Chain A
């Protein structure tokens, strides 16, 4: 292997430092004995213990997971349906406008999405809480799911579905038995994306929640305004850990599938 020049080494180090140093500091200080966030006073896990006894945080975490799970599931169903329509329907009047409108929330400033949803909920006289946050998150996560799924559908061999119809499937059966299992990886990553988007959303949740429901990002944000406590460092460390485990697992599964597929294809070639 070629040796890296000092320039490459430096830029790599600086780049990674820029990305990960803040998180590293956060993780280190979550094990700080002292109550002061910026003064190191020895190793301790007491803030993790404190966190477990803080019911406000635990309640917020539960609300967040609940919202993320329901809204990402709804967004996956709606987004997949939208993707199927957009890829399959061919040309019809207003197709460009329609597809543009599906993707628009991606570039819309969150403040505007949040504000318009808030106005809608008020005018409908809806009590704001978990339900309204779920609706709001579904709305903006749906377009991300639809982008992920439609990029998979574009390369999907249409004749697979035709073969299913030809062999006696109704259109719904063909989708359930053939299309869905094949595009499942894209649907799952769409779900994961929607889940993480919902987990860390602060702006839209602040607009659409009521006094009865507070998500974790909202809780963290409001407590930080009163001063950063080591407890929040501990909480953030746990969140980083959870996300990292999820991402690494997903990429390992993906990589293993690719390797296995390649090996089997090579074996088939030899056999021919």
Chain B
């Protein structure tokens, strides 16, 4: 594979476009952002993901210039932008409510920012036409925002924020108001537009699927801090904490005591049950409290005990969630804990192998799950 992988965050010589340096933001007694440091690189599609109130919107508003950091610095291309007002920044924002100007036509909405830059009239016209083409809105140029549909409004908002060719485009829950199907289509559209324009995108979202789909890197936030920044697959496969593992997708978490055994780590999690086996973590001592995280789709379910599986536990089918393409089996272990296992429904449902209260074996390899210290 000669395909060049885009990963400037792994290159120590790469210059970040945006640098948060020990940024703290307080509103009265409330600390929205707590000593946060992160680099975002040019042409990245960077997602800020977290529950509401985690500080992701505050981070975005500081980038746009609507809030200033209480402590620390934010650098854009090496320049401290703390004191620069929003109208003097090379950033543009797409608002959650779209914030289209209701008294102006679609054409005038897109031209709004260009006119402020005193761009010559013919160039404004060209640029607006280009944006209309990019977002497939040519037919609606003369309409007012309330005369078009929600999906079209979303595209107008995007076109307006891209028109000034910003160094950095901020997207605040851009797809929140769209229904699921339109949202999925629009996610791919966003990625295409990001690639064609080469603009750096920072997106705020609480929808983990959306973040995973569009982003080159995802920052998972909690209580004003970034818990983990990594590519979507690392976030999913190798979360650094139970918080991240639990926030992204579905996960089984098993608590127990550590027991390092050579190049493997064992976890004693219940009396009378075999220890779980997995790849070790650095600096773990015997008897330390640990969590084991394993994704449901990595757990196999079978009637007989598999001969060569590193981990195998017997249990009883407690519940089955049938989702069409897959089924999730909730298997109760002797200690009462429920483990979820997913299996593809590649046979018709009438031929399903297991049903309620069947005794089954759950098994997985020694690299399928991860140990987590916190």
Residues B148 and A157 in contact, CB atoms below 8 Å apart: no
The verdict on A168 contacting B149 (CB below 8 Å), with A159-B97, A159-B99, A162-B99 known, is no
The verdict on A157 contacting B99 (CB below 8 Å), with A165-B85, A168-B117 known, is yes
The verdict on A167 contacting B116 (CB below 8 Å), with A157-B99, A182-B103, A271-B149 known, is yes
CB contacts (< 8 Å) of A267 on chain B: these are: 147
The contact of B148 among A160, A164, A178, A268, by CB within 8 Å, is A268
A-B contact count (CB 8 A): 73
A9-38 with Cβ < 8 A to chain B: none
A173, CB-defined interface residue at 8 Å: yes
B354, CB-defined interface residue at 8 Å: no
A166, CB-defined interface residue at 8 Å: yes
> Which range contains the number of B residues in contact with the other chain?
20 to 34
A163, CB-defined interface residue at 8 Å: yes
The distance in angstroms between the C-alpha atoms of A265 and B147, with both chains bound, is 6
B243, CB-defined interface residue at 8 Å: no
Residues B97 and A268 in contact, CB atoms below 8 Å apart: no
B112, CB-defined interface residue at 8 Å: yes
Residues B116 and A268 in contact, CB atoms below 8 Å apart: no
CB contacts (< 8 Å) of A261 on chain B: these are: 146
The contact of B149 among A160, A165, A167, A268, by CB within 8 Å, is A268
B295, CB-defined interface residue at 8 Å: no
Residues B112 and A167 in contact, CB atoms below 8 Å apart: yes
Residues A168 and B116 in contact, CB atoms below 8 Å apart: yes
Total chain A interface residues with beta-carbon distance under 8 A:
25
CB contacts (< 8 Å) of A49 on chain B: these are: none
B81-136 with Cβ < 8 A to chain A: 85-87, 91-93, 95-97, 99, 101-103, 112-113, 116-117
B138-170 with Cβ < 8 A to chain A: 144, 146-152, 160-161, 164
Residues A165 and B86 in contact, CB atoms below 8 Å apart: yes
A169, CB-defined interface residue at 8 Å: yes
Report B109 CB to chain A, min CB distance, Å. 9
Known: A168-B116, A169-B87. 20 other contacts (CB 8 A): A160-B99, A162-B93, A162-B99, A163-B93, A163-B95, A163-B101, A166-B64, A166-B91, A166-B93, A166-B161, A167-B112, A167-B116, A167-B160, A182-B102, A182-B103, A261-B146, A264-B144, A268-B149, A269-B149, A272-B150
A109, CB-defined interface residue at 8 Å: no
The contact of A159 among B87, B92, B95, B160, by CB within 8 Å, is B95
Residues A173 and B103 in contact, CB atoms below 8 Å apart: no
